[in-house]
Homo-oligomer: A and B are copies of this chain.
């Protein structure tokens, strides 16, 4: 019995008969798959109960399976210090912990990046952008003049990027701007817009009021299509 054991001895560290790494191998077809050890029944030939001989081969398979799994584990972990069974498991644990930690780190980084970029990633989205530097509208007046011309007068307090904000809103609405004037004195920014509007553009115009106004808790008093005067109050 011992003589024929020797040939597949020490396979753990060296040969490891089975080289399949593909982890998916649940049905184990290896009954007597390996080398040529003791055959089906009574490997010794004598002094063994026939009932236990089945147990022997079954146990062999079990061991083999476990070793196979362990080997597969070893192939997944990049840095194995020692080839011990115990060390393999230990290194795997360490590596897994490392992965888990890194996952948390990466997720945190993503949250960080996302929260930072959502404010900026859509430069046309006024409502998100404005949270940083809100436009404080003091007065707004819109007048429909003649055919397709609209004059919009906006007075707001002058802060950082107020002009940029306003430009963003205007451009995002696809208004057809003829001419714009920004004038600032003391701490106020006065804006005068001459717009060329078509019928399809009037929703944009309403949207403009909406955007600016909702962000400052003001409200539209009068916004009909023909003549639109918005006196914005606190």
A interface with B by C-beta (< 8 Å) = 23, 62, 65-66, 69-70, 72-73, 76-77, 85-86, 89-90, 92-97, 99-100, 102-103, 106-107, 109-110, 113-114, 116-117, 120-121, 123, 160-161, 163-164, 166-168, 170-171, 177-185
Contacts and interface: CB of A to CB of B under 8 A. Distances in A.
Most buried by B among A89, A120, A123: A89
A182 B90 CA distance: 69
30 contacts: A23-B93, A62-B86, A65-B86, A66-B89, A70-B89, A72-B89, A73-B89, A76-B97, A92-B92, A96-B96, A96-B99, A99-B99, A102-B103, A103-B103, A103-B106, A106-B106, A113-B117, A117-B121, A120-B120, A120-B123, A160-B171, A163-B167, A163-B171, A163-B180, A164-B167, A164-B168, A177-B182, A179-B183, A180-B180, A181-B182
A70 B89 CA distance: 7
A86 B113 contact: no
B106 A110 contact: yes
